[in-house]
Amino acid sequence: MIRLFLLSQGPSRRTFVATTAAVGGAVVVGGLVPGPFELGAEEAAAADALPSSRVSLTVNRERHTVTVDNRTSLLDLLREHLDLTGSKKGCNAGACGACTVLVDGRRVNSCLTLAVRLEGADVTTIEGLADGDELHPLQQAFIDQDAFQCGYCTPGQIMSGIGCVQEGHTGSPEEIRESMSGNICRCGCYVKIVRAVQQTAHRK
Ligand code: FES
Ligand code: FES
C-alpha cells in the first residue's frame, strides 16, 4: 500500500530533472541565458569596481586631496600616492614600528591606519622634520650617537622617539625603552637609540 502511494504521489526522476532544468537555468536555443543568481556584464563590472573615497589631509604642512581604495593604509597613501617613501614597510602588521608617523601629534603605526579615516588630519613623517638644511634635534642626535646601522628602522625610531619625548616618557633609560618597545631594530642599536632620545630630551 505504502509502496503504491510512493509510486503514484512522488515525482518520477524524469519529472524532477525536467522541472529543475526549467526553474534553475533556462536553456534557450543558441546558448544559456543568465540564471537568477548570475550577474550581467554591467553588474559584474560594478561588482568588480573597488569602493573608493576622497580624503583631504595635511602631510608635512602641505594639503593633499586624494582618491583612494577604501582599504588603503596611511602607509600606502604616503608611499604610493604621495611618493613619501621615508616611512618604511617592515611587517605591514603593526609589529615592527618601521612605519611610525605622527597623526595629530600622536605616533601611530601607519600600516594599520586606514587612510579614509584621516579626513582633516595633520600627518608628520620623517620627511617633514628638518627645517631646510637644519635637522630636527632627534635626527641630529641619531647621528651624534651613531644610533643606526642599516637605517631601515631609523625613520620609525625617530618618529617614535619624538612621540616619546613629547609624551614625557624620558625619565630613565628603562622608561624610554618601554615607551619605544613597539619599534624593533634588527641591527640591535637599542643602547644608542636610547642615548639619542635622552640627548634630545635633555635639550628641552
Ligand atoms: Fe607597520 Fe611594521 S610596517 S608596524
Ligand atoms: Fe638596521 Fe635598525 S638600524 S634595523
**pTM for the full model?**
0.78
Topology of domain 51-128 in CATH is Ubiquitin-like (UB roll) (3.10.20)
State yes or no: pLDDT of 56 exceeds 70: yes
Grid cell, residue 186, equals 634588527
Ligand closest to 110 (CA) is 1
Over residues 7-14, mean pLDDT: 42
Residue 37: its pLDDT value, please? 58
Which residues have C-beta within 8 Å of that of residue 106, sequence separation ≥ 6? 163
Assess whether the C-beta atom of 99 lies below 6 angstroms from ligand 1: yes
Q: Nearest bound ligand to CA 99?
A: 1
pLDDT at 2: 41
**What is the per-residue pLDDT for 193?**
98
DSSP per-residue letters across 151-200:
-SSHHHHHHHHHHHHHHT--SSHHHHHHHTTT---TT--HHHHHHHHHHH
Q: What is the tens place of the pLDDT at every residue in 110-123?
A: 999 999 999 999 99
Q: Which of residues 192 and 21 earns the better pLDDT score? A: 192
Mutating to test ligand 1, I would choose from 77, 79, 88, 111 the residue with most ligand atoms within 8 A of its C-beta, which is 111
Going from N- to C-terminal start, the domains of the chain cover: 2-48, 51-128, 129-204
CATH superfamily of 129-204: [2Fe-2S]-binding domain (1.10.150.120)
CA distance 148 to 170: 20
Residue 9 has pLDDT above 70, yes or no: no
Residue 11's pLDDT band, with cuts at 50, 70 and 90, is very low
24 pLDDT band, cuts 50/70/90, is very low
Residue 191 Cβ < 6 Å to ligand 1 = no
pLDDT of residue 168: 96
Over 50: is that where the pLDDT of 17 sits?
A: no
Query: Which of 60, 58, 55, 61 lies closest to 159 in space, CA to CA?
Result: 60
Q: Between 40 and 136, where is the model more confident?
A: 136
Q: 20 vs 171, which has greater pLDDT?
A: 171
What is the model's pLDDT at position 47? Answer: 63
For atom 4 of ligand 1, the residue with the nearest CA is 94
pLDDT in tens, 67-93: 999 999 999 999 999 999 999 999 999
Contact of 116 with 68, CB cutoff 8 Å: yes
**Same fold flag, 51-128 and 129-204:** no
pLDDT-based confidence at 164, cuts 50/70/90?
very high
pLDDT tens figures, 178-193: 999 999 999 999 999 9
Mean per-residue pLDDT of the chain = 86
Q: Whose Cα sits closest to atom 1 in ligand 2? A: 150
Q: State if residue 149 touches ligand 2 by the CB under 6 angstroms criterion.
A: yes
Q: Would you give the DSSP letter of residue 118?
A: -
C-alpha cell at 102: 605622527
129 lines ligand 1 (CB under 6 A): no
